Amino acid sequence: MDILERKPYNYAIHTSPSNDLRLHGHIRDIVVTGDNGLGHESAGVVLKVGKDVTRFKPGDKVALECGTPCSKATCYFCRTGQYNACPDVAFFSTPPHHGTLRRYHTHQEAWLHHIPDNISFEGGALLKPLTVALEGIDRSGLRLADPLVICGAGSIVLVTLLATNAAGAEPIVKELVPRVHQAFAGSIVETLGQEVKLVIECTGVESNIHAGIYIDLRFQYRYHDIYPKAISLVAAGIIDLKPLVSHRFALEDGVKAFETASNPAAKAIKVQILDD
Ligand SMILES: [Zn+2]
């Protein structure tokens, strides 16, 4: 294949211990203190397989599940089907594991998913945020015609809106606001015309969580065993992820992609990097 002849091309955050991302933020105690490769919403084509691989062959289109747990029987979370909480998970793009925003990437067979021809590589990459939304819907116990509020204004919120709409939530508060202020919280009933049954909070902002607490509070951490559902919904046309992609760049123009994503004037939703 031609692409095998191309030079490797990777993207990483470059930092040093004296000027690292502690200055700008971090996720809990996960702090970038050196170079760390980016990217965990990815799809691609299989170029080569190892000798023990049985489910894939060169040329297959695949989506990557980027959290690969230890899968050991001695791990309580893996053994009990909660592999999203595996303490030894290798989550690509989370230190110390480099991400998938690169020309070539090696991935375990168990954490690849076949995608059919009618799902593009763009759609394959967007399966990742869709899995988060589907896991949230499962956790919430959403049922047909449940009145719903979704808190947030990012791409996870938009994909959650698509998924909850497909799941039959009605009515849904569609005002997308990054923070639920008290005035808005007070008007939720007025906006819905009835009491809300469920709130799906997608930001982690404290005021949103306060506004969303009714009786039962459930947290969600990543996702498990949900890629097949996401692939089925997109392949069947029940959820259309294409409108979420607002900008596209070639891999070599990746820096422009990050500049676009961080520029509010660009009105970016999902900025994708493609290596055709
Ligand atoms: Zn484990």
> Rounded to an integer, what distance in angstroms lies between the CA atom of residue 72 and that of residue 66?
18
Ligand 1 centroid distance, CA of 70 (Å):
4
- Tokens 């203190």 belong to residue: 33
Ligand 1 centroid distance, CA of 66 (Å):
14
How far separated are the first and last CA of the chain, in Å rounded? 12
Ligand 1 centroid distance, CA of 168 (Å):
34
Q: How far is CA 211 from CA 6, 124, 187, 200, in A?
A: 52, 34, 11, 11
Mean pLDDT across 236-244: 95
pLDDT in tens, 8-27: 888 877 766 555 444 455 66
> Rounded to an integer, what distance in angstroms lies between the CA atom of residue 222 and that of residue 138?
12
121-140 and 227-235 helices, crossing angle to 10°: 120
Among the ranges given (71-80, 119-128, 152-161, 261-270), the one the predictor scored with the smallest mean pLDDT: 152-161
Q: Does residue 180 register a pLDDT over 70?
A: no
Ligand 1 centroid distance, CA of 85 (Å):
8
Ligand 1 centroid distance, CA of 91 (Å):
12
Mean pLDDT across 211-217: 71
CATH code of domain 11-240: 3.90.180.10
> Rounded to an integer, what distance in angstroms lies between the CA atom of residue 55 and that of residue 257?
34
Q: What is the pLDDT of residue 21?
A: 46
Q: Does residue 74 register a pLDDT over 90?
A: yes
Ligand 1 centroid distance, CA of 185 (Å):
39
| Mean of all residue pLDDT scores within the chain | 87
Q: Does residue 208 register a pLDDT over 90?
A: no
Q: Does residue 67 register a pLDDT over 70?
A: yes
Q: What is the pLDDT of residue 23?
A: 46
pLDDT in tens, 1-12: 588 888 888 887
Ligand 1 centroid distance, CA of 110 (Å):
14
Q: What is the pLDDT of residue 240?
A: 96
> Rounded to an integer, what distance in angstroms lies between the CA atom of residue 20 and that of residue 22?
5
pLDDT bin (cut points 50, 70, 90) of residue 49 is very high
Ligand 1 centroid distance, CA of 99 (Å):
20
Ligand 1 centroid distance, CA of 225 (Å):
14
Q: What is the pLDDT of residue 209?
A: 73
Ligand 1 centroid distance, CA of 135 (Å):
19
Ligand 1 centroid distance, CA of 68 (Å):
9
Mean pLDDT across 228-248: 96
3-state secondary structure of 185: helix
Neighbours of ion ligand 1 (CB under 5 A): 69-70, 75, 78, 86
Ligand 1 centroid distance, CA of 73 (Å):
8
Q: What is the pLDDT of residue 196?
A: 82
Ligand 1 centroid distance, CA of 51 (Å):
25
Tokens describing residue 8: 């490797």
Residues 6+ apart with CB under 8 A from 108: 68
> Rounded to an integer, what distance in angstroms lies between the CA atom of residue 129 and that of residue 135?
10
Q: What is the pLDDT of residue 47?
A: 96
Residues 6+ apart with CB under 8 A from 110: 68, 71
On the question of a cis peptide bond just before residue 96, with omega within 30 degrees of 0, the verdict is yes
Mean pLDDT across 133-153: 90
pLDDT in tens, 79-119: 999 999 999 999 998 888 999 999 999 999 999 999 999 99
93: left (phi over 0), alpha (psi -120 to 50) or beta: left
Ligand 1 centroid distance, CA of 224 (Å):
12
